[in-house]
Structure 1
Amino acid sequence: MRDGNVFNLKRALPRMSWSAKNLYNLWSRSLGPLSSETNFTKSAQTLFQQRWRSKRFVRAYHGDWIGENKFKRWYLPERLPDVRPRHLSASGTSSSSGSSSSRGFASDDIYLSKWAKRDRDAKRDLRAGREAAEKAASTPVGSLMFMEVERRLDVFLFRCCFATSAYQARQLVVHGKVTLNGVKHTNPNALLNPGDMVSVDPAAMPLLRIRQVEEEAQVEEKEEETTTTAETTSPSESSAKDKDQAQVEEAPAPKEPTEKKPSAPKWTLPAFAAPNLFVPAYIEPSFATCSAVYVRHPTARPGYSEIPSPYDADGEVMRFAWEWYAKHRPRMRGRKERWTSPETARA
């Protein structure tokens, strides 16, 4: 954890955690008094300020422990998908805001139908082109710029609900409690590939608690019952019981060794954990064996993104963050710099 005060209520930046303070910050940013700061429809801020604030909001959740330069160099995809909305004009051309107009999806068919004086076919092609443009515009591809962050080993453990925060998952990996494809792995920066299986030591998981506490509570209750019954007995009964106990003590019977049954672990969820109990579609967990499989890379389809985020996957915050990284792209990685990759570096 880079900052000890990551759950500051004044900043109210949501993080990858199940903490009660983080839940309050999430409510404050989405529905609470600070929700107006993420609405840039009517804002007196400059375009640079809006982009920078959006980048700050998004990066606070998606890998805030990763340095900015390292994130731009190693965790941004090689090509960022265009998230700017496209508008199809009546002539059949598709134009995006901030870019020159280009030929649309069905522009050639529309021009050919008009030249052949087939107005019905031209209207049908225009309608099909508009539907295709709306479908492409409604796909929240902007959130896919955090796909490489979701491939990280520590983030994967947090998504599997094996840890209450990404910082705790990182600690499990560094302490050698996690195995990747059957081999102990201590580098939380490792990127997973489809088909990789990750297992966690059940004894190190904070969500698994031994039932020893419940057994101790039952023993204490029995002891209290015996003391109360001893106090309520009469003196004659107590004297008779003392004589019987003395006779038993004179001739002690051999004690049979009692075998302690191994207590089974039990899942114990912390308070306010219900909003965070979900597993993305690209993960196949097995809570009985404390393991999970990374099935495939996360993707997006019209109206839905598989990358969890506290902000709208196709909203203003995500689009302004995309514009920030589109303008501040890092330089290309050379062969001499590949050894500095966080995946190959020591944890």
Structure 2
Amino acid sequence: MPRTKKIHALKRPKLRQSWSKFNLYNLSRVTAPPAANKTFFQQKWLAKSMLRSYHNPDVREGTWTRMFDRRLPAVVPMDHRYLAKYDGSEMASGRGMGVDKKPQRDARGNEIRGPEKTPYMHMTFHPLERRLDTAIFRALFASSTREARQFVVHGWVKVNGRKMIYPGYQLNPGDMFQVDPERVLYATGARKVKKDKAESNQELRRRAEERTAKKEKAEEDRAVGAVVEEEPENNTVEPTAEEDDTTTPQTYSTELKALLKRATAILDDSKRDLSGKRQQELRTFRKDLKSTFSKLRGMDESDLQETTESFETALAEILTKVPAEDLSKQEQAADAAASPSEPLPSNPQLQNKTTLDAHRARKDAELLQAALVRARANPIDTTKPYATPWTPRDYMSAFAFIPRYLEVNQNICSAVYLRHPVARPGLAEVPTPFHAETMALGFNWYLRRR
């Protein structure tokens, strides 16, 4: 596989069906090819080479030539009232008699333009949109047509419930294709810095930008005489892009000890009326936590972070199962003292102190439960080949569009090919970054008879 820069050819731009940053740069500087000192044949050949570099260059030229169809599909909306009033002869009125039609104008004097023109030439490569690999790329299940082709060849794609290993399969209206969700998460997700870390390059860049913004803000505040709080000396050295802002193993040990102390306090609280099942869960949790302390020295920082977060999530899940009415009065008073400035609700039924504390505890439990649901849906997993929690990869938003002829369900990574793409007034359903003149020259190249 050639290198990325060679594929996109920054010196002489070549546009590709890819989410690469090099491709985005080439898209920003693409122009119509010059035609001042070129023959018509040279213009057509240059336009053809530009178009074929974008519209699935993995398809051989001979294969595409056999697929080419000079009949370009298009639809035109017809007004039944106009058809009932005229028979078509009004289109030729005034021709050859020196009568010029005056442009119609509205009340403000602006010229009323007719219907938009139909971009027929943009439909030159409409047969390629039926290919399975192109449809997977258009449905945002892969970051390029080459990656989509790889998914199909490796057996990660199903069409109508059956595995399909041919990237050139021609989809018919109503066909449903599905890609393995893990492949889609890998193709569209951010990349990791290292295999043993869950963070991605864009996460490190975001942190570096935040540090730079804070530093610039501090310098501006010093310039205007504002009081800037000095950072501790041990935090003056900023980590590089390769290093992560993780804490030390001693910090994780302290956090685990705090969790163990909290679980023990809950069990020893005689005023809490816990069920037998909850007590058993807390004892098991405390046992697993104690056995983890003997393994802290042999674990790296990523495993320590994952272990600590898993124990925090487990304890939070146990606490969310405890009814809010079972909270002890001591904890209710502690919660009330922790937030004394919070105003009382306007509901008269919540003016009572005990009722208010139970209401706040129930709201906190609901918020915690929602956070746990989000954490389960997008967890931290160092074994995945993509960054976790999952985040979209760089430069994805510039290419995130779905054509009208596809119906996509991102939850199950499947899509339905509704119909063949068509052109309509002002819109062509075959996405292309090239100008209509370039598309017309490429269409004329393939019109020639050999």
TM-score, with length taken from structure 1: 0.63
- Residue in structure 1 matching 2:49, options 51, 56, 61: 56
Whichever residue aligns with residue 213 of structure 1, its letter is A
Equivalent residue for 1:336?
none
2:293 is matched with which residue?
none
Q: Residue 416 of structure 2 aligns to which amino acid in structure 1?
A: V
Q: Deviations over 1:147-196 (max 9, x none)?
A: 11011100001001111111001111111011101111111100111111
Whether 1:197 and 2:180 are equivalent positions in the alignment is no
Q: Deviations over 1:258-290 (max 9, x none)?
A: 997895456422112211011111111111111
Distance 1:309 1:267, change over 3 A: farther
Higher RCO (C-alpha 8 Å, min separation 6): 2
- Give the alignment of 1:150-229 within 5 angstroms: 150-205=129-184, 206=186, 207=188, 213=198, 221=247, 223-226=249-252
2:30 corresponds to 1:45? no
Q: Deviations over 1:64-109 (max 9, x none)?
A: 1111111101x212x34499xxxxxxxxxxxxxxxxxxxxx63797
Are 2:70 and 1:70 aligned?
no
Offset of 1:145 from its aligned partner?
Answer: 2.2
Give yes or no for the alignment of 1:326 onto 2:327.
no
**Distance across 2 between alignment mates of 1:224 and 1:149:** 58
Q: Give, as a single letter, the amino acid of the residue that structure 2 aligns with 1:154.
A: D
CA shift digits 1:113-157 (9 cap, x unpaired): x9xxxx9xx989x99xxxxxx758x21111222111011100001
**1:225 Cα deviation from its structure 2 partner:** 2.1
- Distance in structure 2 (CA, Å) of the matches to 1:160 and 1:196: 14
**In the aligned structure 2, how far is the partner of 1:308 from the partner of 1:285?**
17
Amino acid in structure 1 at the alignment position of 2:13: A
Q: Secondary structure at the match of 1:319?
A: helix
**Match in the other structure for 1:28:** 29
The CA RMSD measured in Å over matched residues stands at 4.1
Q: Does structure 1 conserve the Cα–Cα contact (< 8 Å) formed by 2:73 and 2:123?
A: no
Report the counterpart of residue 425 of structure 2 in structure 1: 302
1:287 aligns with 2:410: yes
| Structure 1 residue aligned with 2:333 | none
Q: Greater strand percent: which structure?
A: 1
2:122 touches 2:439 (CA, 8 Å); kept in 1? yes
Give 2:437's aligned amino acid.
Answer: E
Residue type matched to 1:269 in 2?
P
Contact 1:176–1:184 at 8 Å: present in 2 too?
Answer: yes
Q: Using a 3 Å threshold, how does the CA distance of structure 1 residues 82 and 106 change in structure 2: closer, same or farther?
A: farther
Q: Which has the higher helix share?
A: 2
* Contact 1:210–1:264 (Cα < 8 Å) also in 2: no
Q: Which amino acid aligns with 2:57?
A: D
Alignment check: 8 A CA contact 1:147 1:307 kept: yes
Tell me, yes or no, if the aligned pair for 1:153 and 1:190 is still in contact at 8 Å: yes
Q: Does the 8 Å CA contact 1:39/1:316 hold for their aligned counterparts?
A: no
Note if 1:277 corresponds to 2:400.
yes
Cα 1:82–1:273 change in 2 (3 A) is closer
| Rounded Cα–Cα distance in structure 2 between residues aligned with 1:18 and 1:209 | 12
Change in 2 beyond 3 A, CA 1:82/1:189: closer
Letter aligned with residue 296 of structure 1: R
- With structure 2 as the length reference, what TM-score do the two structures score? 0.50
Q: Take 1:208 and 1:272, find their aligned partners in 2: how far apart are those partners?
A: 11
Q: Count residues in correspondence.
A: 258
Distance 1:195 1:224, change over 3 A: farther
Checking the alignment, whether the CA contact within 8 Å between 2:189 and 2:393 is kept in structure 1 is no
Residue in structure 2 matched with residue 106 of structure 1 by the alignment? 89
| AA at the equivalent of 1:76 | F
Which structure has the larger Rg? Answer: 2
Stretches of structure 2 lacking an aligned partner (at least 5 in a row): 75-87, 105-113, 200-243, 256-282, 290-306, 315-374, 379-388
Q: Distance in 1 between matches of 2:137 and 2:446?
A: 26
- Change in CA separation of 1:302 and 1:3 when aligned onto 2, cut-off 3 Å: farther
Match of 1:242 in 2: none
Letter in 2 for 1:276: F
